[in-house]
Amino acid sequence: MITLAKRKAIDIRDVLRRSPVAEVPGAEDILKDCLWRSEEIWQGDYDGEAACVWGLIRPTLISDAAYIWLLTTDIVDEHKFLFIRHSQRYVEVLLKIWPVLYGEMVGQNPMTKRWLKWLGAEFGQPLGNKTPFAIRRKVLNG
């Protein structure tokens, strides 16, 4: 069973240990910075185990866009379909608050890019190991 909950404290070592960036130098410091700067932090669990952690960072107090970040674990890889459905629902809620969510895809993982496309991401030009993206609120004509 998948559960999503707002969190104030995260066991980052456990999440990092099971993430695709476990061996990346500086990954723990980057995650700590994201957690510290985030207005909201959420954790997705599967049967009581941390599957992913994400947050929203507002660049300035008057911004109408938010930076979204996400770190997944091996659990998401095992239950991709369930997590994409929950991600789509959550992004719909966020886009009611923020007209634009932006972020950076690190690396060139085809599954990550496909996931972001399912969420409506438009990609910019890669800058080194990062590709910027934006997910925009859909505007209906008429």
CA dist 74 and 30 (Å) reads 19
Q: Is residue 20 part of a domain?
A: yes
Q: Is residue 120 part of a domain?
A: yes
Give the pLDDT of residue 124: 95
Owner of token pair 């866009």:
65
User: Span 35-55, mean pLDDT?
Assistant: 86
Model pTM? Answer: 0.81
Q: Is residue 142 part of a domain?
A: no
pLDDT tier at 70, thresholds 50, 70, 90: confident
Mean residue pLDDT of the chain comes to 85
Query: Higher model confidence: residue 84 or residue 108?
Result: 84
Q: Is residue 48 part of a domain?
A: yes
Give the pLDDT of residue 140: 67
Q: Is residue 10 part of a domain?
A: yes
The DSSP 8-state label assigned to residue 25 in this structure reads T
CA dist 101 and 81 (Å) reads 22
Residue range(s) defining the domain that contains residue 16: 2-136
Q: Is residue 141 part of a domain?
A: no
CA dist 54 and 35 (Å) reads 9
Q: What angle do CA 60, 62, 64 make, to 5 degrees?
A: 95
pLDDT at 48 over 90: no
Q: Is residue 76 part of a domain?
A: yes
Q: How many CA atoms lie within 13 A of 51 on its CB side?
A: 21
pLDDT tier at 84, thresholds 50, 70, 90: confident
Residue type, 142: G
Work out how many domains the chain is built from and give that number. Answer: 1
Q: What percent of the chain has pLDDT over 70?
A: 92
User: Span 58-84, mean pLDDT?
Assistant: 86
Q: Is residue 34 part of a domain?
A: yes
Those residues whose C-beta lies under 8 Å from the C-beta of residue 75, and which sit 6 or more positions away, are 18, 46, 49, 50, 51, 52
| CATH assignment at residue 25 | 3.40.630.30
CA dist 133 and 105 (Å) reads 7
